[in-house]
Structure formats: structure tokens, C-alpha cells
Amino acid sequence: MTHKSSFLVSSSFYFLSLVIIAAHHATSLSSVVLNPSPRQARQENSVFLAEQNTEPPDYRYACLDQSGVAPSSKYQSNLKSLISSLSSDAATSNGFGNRTEGSDEKDMAYGLYLCRGDVNSSLCHSCVEDSSRLIQQHCPNNATAVLWYPFCLLRYSNQYFFGNLTLKPRIPMFDASQNFSSAGEFDSDARILMNGLIQTGSETNLMFGTHVFNINGTQKRYGWVQCSRDITSEECRTCLSNMLEDVVNCCEGKRVWRIFSPSCIVMYETQPFLVNGPGLIAPTSQQGEESSNRRKLLVIIVISGVVVLTLLVFCTIYFRFLRKKKDKLALQEDGLNPVFYQDQTDEENDMSADLPTMSLKTILETTRKFSDEYKLGQGGFGSVYKGVLPDGKEIAVKRLSKTSGQGLNEFKNEVILIAKLQHRNLVRLLACCIEQNEKLLVYEYMPNSSLDFHLFRIEKRSKLEWKLRISIINGIAKGLLYLHEDSRLRVIHRDLKASNILLDHEMNPKISDFGLAKVFGDNQRQANTIRVVGTYGYMAPEYAMEGLFSVKSDVFSFGVLLLEIISGKKNSGFYLSKHGQSLLIYAWRLWCKGKGLDLMDPILERSFEPSEVLKCIHIGLLCVQEDAADRPTMSSVVFMLASDSVNLPRPTQPAFSVGRGFKEKESSSNDTTHDSINGVTISEVEAR
């Protein structure tokens, strides 16, 4: 692609990004109608919100009129009695109450209050009293209304609603002054952590839960969830999960946010939830004319975006055609004719349609024709070489061996998988190449090599202090969680190990090597194979013995890796040391004796946090339990790692390991050494 065409496409991308950002901003500003008159609210059946109070506390309310007709005087009288009885009841209740007032069905009033699970009856009573006054002040002519005060919720209607899950209206609040510096932090932290809190909070008697999350060992977040007690636990989870989905639309990238609905509330903040905690910034009122202007601007932006997108698609197709034609001519000049494998199907020919290709000529130039001095390592499926592009960018090229066990299917699998996976803890695939009987993958270059290079060498391991190790553990866990639950595909890696964890220039971990990965359908939970492939010491017992694999197989591998990171020792071969047992059994016995810290790498003594180390050992032992059903999911693992006070279940004895009671028969998938970058082995274990 010429510099001119590259500049045009880049400019189109840049302008399109501005259009999308502007459209999102305009949409978010024009999506809320603030403080219309009661008459307008009745006519449009809309929600209106309170302005920011000049004095704390801050609150939100919604006046809803389902009938469009002003309530009768009898209903208003019943409503007044109802609100008074709810306020009185709050003084002696356990924080929740619902009542009905009236004898004639057409004039009956239904209401409830819900106080925060951590406030006493005195504060609950005071909150409901204040809410009663405010809701009548703001919604004097509405038959249905709901008000959210800092410590309680008050709701009434002329229609029976007890026990009905109500998700709307949804009222978001966020602190616009507390944005993340980089994208993606919400997806990888808040949603995962809050999902765990939703599961536990919805099961409590009060349907209420709070938690302190430890983010990367340096920052704390405070989560809070609560549901109205007239719905079931299952409906509570549904409500909270729906609120959490809304956060992606309104508050992604925000450190502080709250979402209110009539049946549940979700909050996520950087400060503890105090009785007189800080209020959040509320939207300011806008004039009708400004709203109209925004709508016009939004229409213009959308039309402009469509035009730019059309131009971008046309330019991309046209310049891709020119580039392929130019590459083909260049190869012919050098006597290299591009050819594909004869057994390749049409689908395989199209596998790089969504992924940039790099010519063999370019790769040969960047790697000095696969020179030994550019070789980074030898793996189970081939060699990895470093390359330097003309612009100075460094790359890593995986060259599939012609005699490798990874055929075209595995190669295609890795290309398609990684092209669709995007996460900061997964290695990024830049391009692929199938020419002259060569199958090549081009990755981003990881200057700090793999985790095993640092972890299992005494001179390198000394630099892995505890803070860095816990950061690596968290990163691996989040990357694996993305594969299992958060990506468009449910991916089972099947070969998670220290040598497949690469480290970037800041020592951030990135999971690599997806040659053995498998994709599951939406409803699929496990699968069988007669071809058991992987690395000995990391394979779950049900996979090694029966060929049965699932997300829990990866969880087992993660548990082994976690214990290796803590101890600085390899699981495979550990039984040959003076301990005479596997790393898993050794860790289990120390933990049972209350001597878990004896497992820790002695190098960590100057930097470790005892409670964190013991918690990680505990989590590791939970992950390597023999029964796959007993092992936690990766979402639970991430939640446990981030939590300072969660109660962990007691683990059972780890799964089988080769030791004095077993004999090992191991055959390599090729003749590579066991400490290679991508060494892949097939192992069988028999009882003596």
C-alpha cells in the first residue's frame, strides 16, 4: 500500500472515530429529559429527574403516570394514608415494608419502602420520612412514582406491583471527573468484580451486599448491590445483571457510577460507603431548544458517518487489491511464485480475509532468511524468530515446521482464533503468510520473553518481586476469563503453561500459542477427544486419562501455574527433587499443616504480603482439585483474587500427580527439548 493510500485510509479511520465519539456524546446528552412540567410528563408518560440539590443529600425520583388521567381525590387520600403508614412502619421494621390502602379496587394505593441493608431503624425511619415529603412535593398529581434517597427507596402506585420485577425506569449517575486514563479498564475490572458480588449479594436474606475490591494490589473499589425484598433471588440476579449491562452504555470508563431501578440498585465507587458519603455529580438541566439542536446535530453526524464509512470500505477494498497485485509482481521478479497447499479448501483460502497478510519476501528480509542469530526459540510446532520491519518495528515470526504435528488445521485454527480475540492479556496476531510451502504467523514482539525464562532461572527470578508476581497472576486470570466468558467465542486454551505466557516491555502477561485451542458453542460445556495433547504437569486428570476437556481443564492448568509462580518451582520434575512428591501434593500438605508460607519462593521474603500469598495458595489448591465440578470458574477466581475479605471454601486433595506412587511414560510430539518456548508433549500416567 502506498503512503498516499495509507494516509487516506488512516484519515478515514480517524474521522470515523471522531464521528462515532461525537454521536455517542450527542446521544448521551439528548437521551434524558430533565425536569419537564407535570403536565408534559403525563402527556408523554416520561420520567423526570431531580436537579442536583444545592445542599446534600443528593437524590433521584421518577414520576410515572400510567393512565394519563389525574388520580381521583379518593386515591390521593388513600395515598396520603399509605405514605404515612409506611413512614411509621419504617421506625420499627427490619428495613423493608409494603402496604395497601383503600377498600375500592379502583382507588387502592400500593406502596413499599426499602432501606439500605447496613442502616439502623432510626436512620431508615428518617430516610423514609424525608422521602415521603419529597415524593409528594415532586409528584403531586401522579398515581405512580418512585424516589431513590441515599439510604432508602420509596415507591407507590395505583396498580398492584408487589412481587413484579420492574427494570424501568433506569436512572444512571456517574462522576464525570473520574475517568479512566485508558480504555478497557471497566470491562476487565468493574463488570467482572461486580458480577461476583451480584451472585453473592442476591443470595443473602436481605438481598444486599457490599464488598471492597483490591485492584492490582494498589487501588480499592467499593461495590454495593441491593434488591427489593418482594422479588425472588433469581429475579434479583436478573435485575442487577440488567443494571450492570446498562453501565456499558452510560458509564464505561468511569471509576464511579450508580444505576437505580424500582427493583434493584447497583453502585461502584472509589470511596467507602459512609453514612454521609459524598454525592455524585448529577446532570444539569437543559433547555428544550438545546435538546432540539442536539437532535439535529445527531442526524447530521449519523449521515456523515455513513458517508465516511462507505468511502472507507471502498478505499480498503481498492487498495487491498493494489497491494496484492504489487506483492505478486515483486515475488515473480525474485523467482518466488505464491502457492497454497493443494489440499486447502476454499474456506481455508479465505481464512486471512479478516487478517492482514505479510508476503514471504518481507518476512525473509526481516528475519535474515530465518537466520539462527534471529532465532528466539524452538517449540513443539516449529521455531520462533525475531524480525525487524523497515520502519523499525519488531515482530516475532512463528514458522511452522514441515514435519510438525500441527498441520494446516491447527494453523488455520490459530489464525482464525487469535484474529477474533482482542484483550490486553492475550498476545496480538499481526499477520499471517502461506506461501512456498511455508506457514507463518506474525505476532507482536515481546521483549521480555516468556514467564518460564524468568521464573525458573535463579538469576532472573530475583527480579520477580511479589508485587510483580501478583500482577502477572491477575493478568493471566483476566486473559483466561476473557477466553472462557467474555469473548465472542468460548475458547478452551488446552495448553496454558509458563512458557506460553509472554511478557511485554512492562512485564504485563499475555497468553500465547492457540494451536491446541478449541471453540465451544453457546450451550456446550465439555467435549471429548481421543487425541490428548498438551504439556505434562499442567493437564487436568480428566483430560489426561479420559480425553475430557472443558473450561475447568484450563482452571486446573491455571492453578498449577499459580503455585509455580509462588514457589518458583516447576510442577513437572518437582517430584525428582529432595521433596519426593509433586508440587501440588507438597503445597497441599504444607497448607494442611498451617505452613503454607513454606511453599513461597525464598526470594520473596523481602517483598511479600503474607495474607496475599496464603490467599493465592488457597486459590491455587481450589483450582487443582481432582473433581472438575469442585474447581471454581475463572470469574470466581478473578473475584477471589481481587477481594480482601471473601471467605474461600476449603479445598479437597489435589488431583493425581506423578511421584513415588506412579511411574511416568512420556513421549514428545517431536524432538524438541522440554524447556523450549512452545514445547508440547503427550503424557500417559499409570498407577504402579
Angle made by CA atoms 181, 187, 189, in degrees to the nearest 5? 80
Percent of the chain with pLDDT over 70: 70
Residues 6+ apart with CB under 8 A from 592: none
Residue 273: band (very low, low, confident or very high) from pLDDT cuts 50, 70, 90: low
> Per CATH, is 171-269 categorized as 3.30.430.20?
yes
Alpha-carbon distance of 148 to 155, in angstroms, equals 9
Cβ atoms of 626 and 654 within 8 Å: the answer is yes
pLDDT tens digits, residue range 278-291?
333 233 333 444 44
Q: Which of the residue ranges 61-70, 117-126, 274-283 would you say has the lowest mean pLDDT? A: 274-283
Residue 80 counted as an annotated binding residue: no
Alpha-carbon distance of 158 to 268, in angstroms, equals 33
Residue 13 has pLDDT above 60, yes or no: no
Cβ-based burial of 100 (10 A; exposed 0-12, middle 13-18, buried ≥19): middle
Angle made by CA atoms 376, 382, 385, in degrees to the nearest 5? 25
Predicted pLDDT of residue 565: 96
Angle made by CA atoms 74, 79, 81, in degrees to the nearest 5? 100
Three-state SS for 414?
helix
Residue 553 has pLDDT above 90, yes or no: yes
Q: What are phi and psi of 381, to 5 degrees?
A: -110, 5
Predicted pLDDT of residue 189: 64
Alpha-carbon distance of 370 to 120, in angstroms, equals 72
Q: Which of the residue ranges 43-47, 79-83, 325-329 would you say has the lowest mean pLDDT? A: 43-47
What pairs with residue 399 in β-bridges? Answer: 383, 440
484 against 519, higher pLDDT: 484
Alpha-carbon distance of 191 to 355, in angstroms, equals 29
Predicted pLDDT of residue 35: 33
Range ranked top by mean pLDDT from 409-413, 440-444, 561-565: 561-565
Residue 624: band (very low, low, confident or very high) from pLDDT cuts 50, 70, 90: very high
586 against 418, higher pLDDT: 586
State the Rg of the chain over Cα. Answer: 30
Predicted pLDDT of residue 310: 85
Alpha-carbon distance of 140 to 136, in angstroms, equals 5
Predicted pLDDT of residue 70: 75
Cβ-based burial of 660 (10 A; exposed 0-12, middle 13-18, buried ≥19): exposed
Check if 38-157 and 346-444 are the same fold: no
Alpha-carbon distance of 615 to 215, in angstroms, equals 15
Cβ atoms of 257 and 173 within 8 Å: the answer is yes
Residue 334 has pLDDT above 80, yes or no: no
Alpha-carbon distance of 17 to 507, in angstroms, equals 30
Residue 64: band (very low, low, confident or very high) from pLDDT cuts 50, 70, 90: confident
What pairs with residue 687 in β-bridges? Answer: 662
> Per CATH, is 451-687 categorized as 1.10.510.10?
yes
Q: Which of the residue ranges 103-117, 245-259, 303-317 would you say has the lowest mean pLDDT? A: 245-259
Alpha-carbon distance of 156 to 219, in angstroms, equals 40
Residue 434 has pLDDT above 50, yes or no: yes
57 against 559, higher pLDDT: 559
Known catalytic residues are 495
Residues 6+ apart with CB under 8 A from 195: 241, 244, 635, 639
Predicted pLDDT of residue 288: 43
Predicted pLDDT of residue 295: 65
What pairs with residue 268 in β-bridges? Answer: 223, 257
Architecture of the domain made up of 38-157: 2-Layer Sandwich (3.30)
Nearest to 203 by CA among 173, 177, 174, 235: 235
Alpha-carbon distance of 404 to 384, in angstroms, equals 14
Alpha-carbon distance of 170 to 248, in angstroms, equals 13
Residues 6+ apart with CB under 8 A from 205: none
What homologous superfamily does CATH list for 346-444?
A: Phosphorylase Kinase; domain 1 (3.30.200.20)
Distances (CA, A) of 246 to 23, 207, 427, 603: 18, 20, 29, 45
Cβ-based burial of 132 (10 A; exposed 0-12, middle 13-18, buried ≥19): buried
Residue 566 has pLDDT above 50, yes or no: yes
Alpha-carbon distance of 562 to 496, in angstroms, equals 11
Q: What is the DSSP letter of 165?
A: -
**Mean of pLDDT over the chain:** 76
Residues 6+ apart with CB under 8 A from 34: 48, 49, 51, 283, 284, 285, 286
Predicted pLDDT of residue 129: 92
Mean pLDDT throughout 386-400? 91
Cβ atoms of 435 and 497 within 8 Å: the answer is no
Cβ atoms of 352 and 425 within 8 Å: the answer is no
The verdict on whether omega for the bond into residue 169 sits within 30 degrees of 0, i.e. cis, is: yes
C-alpha cell at 260: 437505580
How are strands ordered across the β-sheet holding 152-157? 60-64, 144-149, 152-157, 109-115, 96-101
Cβ atoms of 501 and 448 within 8 Å: the answer is no
Alpha-carbon distance of 519 to 414, in angstroms, equals 11
Mean pLDDT throughout 529-536? 70
Q: Tell me the helices (H) and strands (E) count for the chain, helix number first.
A: 19, 23
Residue 86: band (very low, low, confident or very high) from pLDDT cuts 50, 70, 90: very high
Residue 532 has pLDDT above 50, yes or no: yes
Range ranked top by mean pLDDT from 40-44, 138-142, 162-166: 162-166
Alpha-carbon distance of 410 to 387, in angstroms, equals 23
Range ranked top by mean pLDDT from 511-515, 526-530, 543-547, 555-559: 555-559
521 against 517, higher pLDDT: 517
Pairing state of beta strands 60-64 and 144-149? antiparallel
Q: Domain-by-domain residue ranges, the chain?
A: 38-157, 171-269, 346-444, 451-687
Residue 480: band (very low, low, confident or very high) from pLDDT cuts 50, 70, 90: very high
Cβ atoms of 221 and 270 within 8 Å: the answer is yes
Cβ atoms of 383 and 352 within 8 Å: the answer is no
C-alpha cell at 489: 467465542
Predicted pLDDT of residue 40: 34
Residue 8 has pLDDT above 60, yes or no: no
The DSSP code sequence of 467-517 is HHHHHHHHHHHHHHHIIIIISSSEEE-S---GGGEEE-TT--EEE---TT-
Mean pLDDT throughout 51-58? 48
Residue 185 has pLDDT above 70, yes or no: no
Residue 100 has pLDDT above 90, yes or no: yes
Residue 498 has pLDDT above 60, yes or no: yes
Task: Indicate the helix (H) or strand (E) that contains 64.
Answer: strand 60-64
Q: Which of the residue ranges 31-35, 171-175, 210-214 would you say has the lowest mean pLDDT? A: 31-35
Alpha-carbon distance of 419 to 140, in angstroms, equals 57
Cβ atoms of 128 and 152 within 8 Å: the answer is yes
The verdict on whether omega for the bond into residue 651 sits within 30 degrees of 0, i.e. cis, is: no
Residue 336: band (very low, low, confident or very high) from pLDDT cuts 50, 70, 90: very low
Alpha-carbon distance of 537 to 557, in angstroms, equals 8
